Amino acid sequence: MQMTVVSKFALKVGLLAGLVASAPLMSYAADGGATETEAIAMVKKGVAFIKTSGHEKGFAEISTKGGQFSDRDLYLTVYGLDGTVRAHGANTKMVGKNLIELKDVDGKAFVKERMEMAAAKPTFWQDYKFTNPETKKIEPKRMYCEKLEDMVVCGGIYK
């Protein structure tokens, strides 16, 4: 089937509109950090990996620094809905710890809030402050999360 000039033009306009619409998502990458689009993709990849490989293998892979679920300042974390860390791509010392009462520098109980958000909806964004593993500084963070069974899989970007 041959495309007409009009349908080719419409396709180009549609592609351009998609790029323009995603421009705000790409803006975080200017400093070399991960984008919102990359965070969403990595979380989806992590959820799929856990579903196909099982919890044990999935958690181990997510907790492997420099592995397929770690890219610059983007890494995955997996929490049980009680606030217990099941996998952590930046700090394996957190695995097995219940962080439900953990607060950021502003006093926000972000793990507790994350569990409440996971109970209310299957996917969500959460904002708080956390130490960037690249800069070692506390920075605003935006975390994308997806609920999976009795846990939540998250990956975030630094703003």
Q: What does the DSSP assignment read for 35-99?
A: PHHHHHHHHHHHHHHHHHH-HHHHHHHHTSTTSTTEETTEEEEEEETTSBEEEESS-GGGTT-B-
Which two three-digit tokens encode residue 22? 């995603």
> Domain extents for the chain?
32-158
Of 158, 156, 155, 133, residue with least CA distance to 62 = 155
Sequential pLDDT tens for the chain (159 residues): 454 443 343 333 343 333 333 333 333 344 578 999 999 999 999 999 999 999 999 999 999 988 999 998 899 999 999 999 999 999 999 999 999 999 999 999 999 999 999 999 999 999 999 988 888 999 999 999 999 999 999 999 998
User: Quick one: 32-158 is in which CATH superfamily?
Assistant: PAS domain (3.30.450.20)
pTM of the predicted structure, to 2 decimals: 0.79
Q: Which distant-in-sequence residues (6+ apart) come within 8 Å of 125 by Cβ?
A: 142, 143, 144, 145
Of 92, 53, 81, residue with least CA distance to 153 = 81
Q: At what angle do helices 36-53 and 55-62 cross, to 10 degrees?
A: 150
Q: Helices then strands (H, E): number in the chain?
A: 4, 6
Of 156, 155, 153, 157, residue with least CA distance to 79 = 153
CB 156 within 8 A of CB 39: yes
Q: What is the pLDDT of residue 16?
A: 35
Q: Is 26 helix (H, G, I), strand (E, B) or coil?
A: helix
